[in-house]
């Protein structure tokens, strides 16, 4: 079963042989190739290149193309504050001073704003990996889009003038439907309406003013024979039930939501739930072990039917690659990761490790410390990187892989002072942690070490 088939089965609410994994690498995708957030959100080539890296390193069953809730707002006249290491933010709201409704003629076409960049990346990613990987097109949900247009006054409008809110949300839902259609035509398998602000309003207000807009979007997506998802951020515990009533195929929640409790509700409606690896404390600031443990604890706390594991929301730009690799491994190879965590937590080994005598070795020694290159994509990639250039460097260097699966290698990893995997060392010095150098950099570095011999 391919990753795409696995996601489709989960979206159809069938029993799946494994839990699907969908890493939300938005601007973080750029970090994998050294591009900043502005570059990946404005340049289709860089976005495509970055997404291919996400696919290679994180082995997703499904993946979003962009995670940028400002695309629609920018088209409709909001000014954006651009940042290098985060998605842009909306900084001006065209209707903040008065209750206006946009002209229906403002509903965008394929050439509007940054849509050409997104659509091109979608088509190219579809052609490259779309056969086996489910691709997610993310749209800004109609309520958050309405708030982009009206500003925070929309919260007062909900009490003072609900009819206005309904009409504004209805317009925004039409924008969502139009853009969903474009994304579906570009090959997206799942359309996710991402609406973080839904968690900030009462279930009664959602039913009264937002329900119809969301339902129209999900009904449209279903009519086009693709799947839908409703993403929310913040503590949406109170809103899960009314979100279910808008009838999406799946819902995705962040770390503020208690997944087991939320799943009881989504199960009642036979809706798949996704989430909710904590973004900051675990993915950004945690260790590789923290990420494995969090995912395993999550898996152990939930029934695996109607379940997708993903980060709570868009991953921070600087999320360490090794942390996402660890999260991926914990979903894809859960039992192996249980063993790894046991190894991490086990008392220090009494095995005595003799480190190589790097100085007297005539060749540069490349040591690859991996989780296990047979199952971990980032590890495989690092190993292959060495193998691919080996013919060129074999006279001056040799390599060895230590998989973190036996006691001796675990002890050796500890003796080298390595805390994240995969890591590559040259003559006993840690050179690359998770990052796989390009061919030229790698060879040049090997030659530098060889020259010191």
Partner 1 sequence: MDKQTIYKSAADSILTANEELAVKVFSDAKSAGFDLLDLLGSGYGAGIQELGELFGKGRVFLPEVMMAAETMRKASELIEAELPPGTAAKKATIVIGTVAGDVHDIGKGIICALLKSNGYMVHDIGREVPAQVFIDKAEEVNADYIGSSALLTTTMPEQKKIEELLTKQGLRSKYKTLVGGAPVTKRWAQKIGADAYCENASELLAQLNEWQEVR
Residues in contact with partner 1 by CB under 8 A are 81, 83, 85-86, 89-91, 152, 155-156, 158-160, 200-202, 205, 233-235, 237-238, 279-281, 284-285, 316-318
136 phi/psi in degrees, rounded to 5: -105, 125
Contact of 221 with 180, CB cutoff 8 Å: yes
- Residues contacting 452, CB < 8 A, separation 6+: none
- Residues contacting 322, CB < 8 A, separation 6+: 288, 378, 420, 421, 422, 433, 434
Give 132 or 280: the residue with its C-beta nearer to partner 1. 280
Give 154 or 182: the residue with its C-beta nearer to partner 1. 154
Contact of 260 with 273, CB cutoff 8 Å: no
Give 85 or 381: the residue with its C-beta nearer to partner 1. 85
Give 20 or 64: the residue with its C-beta nearer to partner 1. 64
* CA–CA separation, 217 and 207 (whole Å): 15
Beta carbon of residue 158, minimum distance to partner 1 (angstroms, whole number): 4
41 phi/psi in degrees, rounded to 5: -95, -5
Beta carbon of residue 319, minimum distance to partner 1 (angstroms, whole number): 9
- 371 is written with which tokens? 């989780």
Residue with tokens 């996704």: 274
Give 155 or 358: the residue with its C-beta nearer to partner 1. 155
Beta carbon of residue 238, minimum distance to partner 1 (angstroms, whole number): 5
Give 270 or 280: the residue with its C-beta nearer to partner 1. 280
* CA–CA separation, 335 and 190 (whole Å): 29
Contact of 203 with 241, CB cutoff 8 Å: yes
Beta carbon of residue 239, minimum distance to partner 1 (angstroms, whole number): 9
Beta carbon of residue 89, minimum distance to partner 1 (angstroms, whole number): 5
Beta carbon of residue 88, minimum distance to partner 1 (angstroms, whole number): 10
Beta carbon of residue 218, minimum distance to partner 1 (angstroms, whole number): 23
* CA–CA separation, 63 and 4 (whole Å): 10
Beta carbon of residue 67, minimum distance to partner 1 (angstroms, whole number): 13
Give 165 or 340: the residue with its C-beta nearer to partner 1. 165
DSSP string, 307-362: EEEEESSSPPTT--HHHHHHHHHHHHTHHHHHHHHHHHHSPPP--------TTT-S
* CA–CA separation, 327 and 316 (whole Å): 15
Give 87 or 274: the residue with its C-beta nearer to partner 1. 87
Beta carbon of residue 152, minimum distance to partner 1 (angstroms, whole number): 5
Q: Tell me the HSE value of 391 on the side-chain side, using a 13 A CA sphere.
A: 1
Taking Cα atoms as reference points, which of 28, 3, 61 lies closest to residue 323? 28
Cα separation values, 78 from 81, 100, 418, Å: 10, 14, 47
Beta carbon of residue 350, minimum distance to partner 1 (angstroms, whole number): 34
Give 79 or 303: the residue with its C-beta nearer to partner 1. 79
Give 43 or 314: the residue with its C-beta nearer to partner 1. 314
- Residues contacting 302, CB < 8 A, separation 6+: 259, 260, 263
């Amino acid at each position: 079963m391919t990753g795409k088939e696995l996601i489709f089965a989960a979206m159809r609410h069938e029993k799946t042989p494994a839990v699907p994994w969908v890493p939300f690498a938005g601007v973080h995708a750029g970090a994998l190739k050294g591009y900043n957030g502005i570059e990946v959100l404005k340049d289709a080539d860089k976005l495509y290149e970055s997404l291919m890296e996400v696919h290679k390193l994180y082995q997703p069953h499904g993946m979003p193309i962009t995670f940028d809730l400002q695309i629609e707002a920018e088209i409709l006249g909001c000014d954006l504050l651009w940042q290098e290491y985060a998605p842009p933010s909306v900084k001006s709201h065209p209707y903040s001073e008065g209750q206006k409704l946009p002209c229906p003629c403002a509903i965008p076409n394929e050439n509007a704003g940054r849509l050409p960049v997104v659509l091109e990346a979608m088509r190219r990613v579809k052609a490259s990996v779309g056969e086996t990987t489910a691709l997610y097109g993310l749209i800004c949900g109609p309520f958050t889009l309405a708030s982009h247009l009206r500003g925070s006054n929309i919260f007062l409008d909900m009490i003072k003038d609900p009819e206005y809110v309904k009409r504004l949300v209805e317009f925004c839902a039409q924008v969502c439907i139009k853009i969903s259609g474009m994304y579906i035509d570009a090959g997206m398998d799942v359309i996710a309406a991402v609406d973080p602000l839904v968690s900030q309003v009462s279930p009664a207000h959602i039913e009264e003013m937002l329900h119809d807009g969301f339902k129209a979007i999900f009904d449209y997506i279903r009519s086009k024979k693709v799947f839908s998802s409703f993403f929310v951020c913040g503590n949406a515990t109170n809103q899960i039930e009314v979100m279910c009533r808008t009838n999406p195929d799946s819902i995705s929640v962040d770390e503020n939501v208690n997944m087991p409790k939320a799943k009881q509700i989504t199960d009642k409606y036979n809706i798949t739930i996704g989430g909710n690896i904590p973004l900051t404390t675990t993915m950004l600031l945690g260790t590789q072990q923290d990420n494995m443990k969090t995912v395993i604890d999550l898996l152990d706390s939930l029934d695996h039917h109607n379940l997708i594991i993903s980060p709570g929301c868009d991953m921070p730009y600087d999320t360490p690659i090794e942390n996402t690799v660890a999260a991926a491994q914990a979903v894809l190879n859960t039992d192996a990761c249980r063993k790894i965590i046991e190894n991490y937590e086990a008392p220090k080994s009494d095995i005595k490790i003799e480190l190589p005598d790097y100085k007297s070795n005539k060749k540069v020694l490349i040591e690859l410390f991996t989780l296990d290159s047979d199952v971990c994509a980032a590890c495989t990639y690092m190993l292959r990187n060495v193998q691919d250039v080996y013919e060129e460097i074999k006279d001056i260097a040799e390599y060895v892989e230590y998989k973190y699966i036996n006691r001796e290698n675990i002890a050796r990893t500890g003796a080298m002072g390595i805390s994240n995997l995969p890591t590559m060392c040259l003559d006993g010095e840690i050179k690359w942690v998770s990052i796989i150098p390009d061919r030229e950099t790698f060879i040049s570095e090997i030659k530098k070490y060889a020259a010191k011999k």
